[in-house]
Amino acid sequence: MKLIKHLIAMSAIAFTAFAVAAPAPAPVGNEAPDVLVKRISNDVIETAKADKDIQAGDVNKVTALVDAKILPYIDFQRMTALAAGRFWRDATPAQKTALSNEFRTLLVHTYSGALSQIKNETVEFKPMRADPADTTVEVRSQVNVQRGEPIQLNYRLAKGPSGWKIFDINVLGAWLVETYKGTFASEIGKGGIDGLIKKLAERNQQLANKPVKAAR
C-alpha cells in the first residue's frame, strides 16, 4: 500500500498545489503562463500560511480564498468536458452546466481541504518548454516537503479569449482529467449523464455537512 499512500499524499499535495497554483486578482492581459502560475501559487501559499483561521479549517475563509485567487484562472467547463470525453457531445446545455458546476464544487471542496494543510512547503518551478506562439503549455513545478521526495505538480494551460487558464493539473504523475475520466465513463455507463450529475451532487451534499478540514 505504499504506492497508495504515495498516491494519496501526492493528491493531497497536488490539490493543495492546485489551490496554491491558482491565481490572484487583477487579470494581467499579457502575463506569461508560467509567471501567472507562479504568482498565483505564491500568493495563495503566503495567504494560507499567514492566516490562522485558514489553517484551522475555517470554511468561509478558505472558500473565499479559493474563489478570489484560484477560480478565475481555471477553465472548469473545459476540464469537465475533457473528463467526460466523448459523452460531452451528447449532453444537453443544461446537463453541461449542471455537470461542470457539481464537478467544480467537488474539486473546490478538495482544494480547500488541501489548503488548510499548507505548512512549510515551498514550491520550485522548472523551465518551461514552450514556444512563444504556443497556445497550450505545460508549467512544471515541484513542492518540496519537509520529509520525503518532492511532490511533482504540473499544470496545463490554454490561451483563451480571456487569457491563460488552467485546464488540467498533474499531481505526482497523475493528471486530474485522466484520473476522473474512468470514473465519469463508468458512472455515465450506469446511469447516463444525469446519473453522474446525481452522484456528484450526492457527494457534494455529504461533504457540505462536514468541516472543510480533513480529520486529523
Partner 1 sequence: MSTRSNSRLTSWRGIVLALAAASTLAGCATGPNPRDPYEKFNRKMFAFNDAVDRAALKPAASAYKQVLPTFVQTGVSNFFGNLSDLWTGVNNLMQGKGADGLSDLTRFSLNSTFGLAGLLDIGSEAGLPKHNEDFGQTLGAWGVAPGPYLMLPLLGPSTVRDALVVPVDIAADPWAYKHPVGWRNFGTAVRAVDQRAAVLDASNLMEEAALDRYEFIRDGFLQRRLSRITDNGEQKIKFRKNIKKDDAPAGAKSIKAAYPDDPGATVPAGAAPASTPSSAPAPAAAVPSDAQNIRAAYTDDPGPTDTASEVRQWAAAPAMSSKPASK
Site for partner 1 in 152-211 (CB under 8 A): 152, 156, 158-162, 165, 167-168, 170, 172-175, 177-183, 186-187, 189, 199-201, 203-205, 207-208, 210
Q: Which three cell numbers stand for residue 201?
A: 451532487
CB 179, min distance to partner 1, A: 5
Strands (DSSP E) along 23-135, which ranges? 122-125
Host H or E run for residue 142: strand 136-144
Please state the closest distance from residue 42 (CB atom) to partner 1, in A. 22
Q: Establish if 38 lies at the interface with partner 1 (CB under 8 A).
A: no
> Least distance (Å) from partner 1 to the CB of residue 16?
9
Q: Which is nearer to partner 1, 42 or 63 (CB)?
A: 63
Near partner 1 in 74-113, by CB under 8 A: 75-78, 81-82, 85-86, 88-89, 97, 100-101, 104-110, 113
CA–CA separation, 78 vs 80, rounded Å? 5
| Buried residues in 70-104 as b, exposed as e (16+ CB within 10 A) | bebbbbbbbbbbbbbeebbeebeeebbebbbbbbb
- Whether the CB-CB separation of 153 and 171 falls below 8 Å is answered with yes
Q: How many residues bind partner 1, per CB under 8 A?
A: 97
Contact 14, 171 (CB under 8 A): yes
Distance CA 66, CA 39 (A): 14
**Least distance from C-beta 205 to partner 1, angstroms?**
7
* Contact (Cβ atoms closer than 8 angstroms) between residue 74 and residue 166: yes
Residues 44-63, interacting with partner 1 (CB under 8 A)? 59-60, 63
Q: Is 9 among the residues that bind partner 1 (CB under 8 A)? A: yes
Rounded to an integer, what distance in angstroms lies between the CA atom of residue 45 and that of residue 192? 39
The only residue of 51, 138, 192, 194 in contact with partner 1, by rule CB under 8 A: 138
What amino acid occupies position 157? L
- Choose between 175 and 192: whose C-beta lies nearer to partner 1: 175
Q: Choose the binding region for partner 1 from 38-46, 47-55, 126-134 (rule: CB under 8 A).
A: 126-134
From 122, 135, 191, 195, residue interacting with partner 1 (rule: CB under 8 A): 135
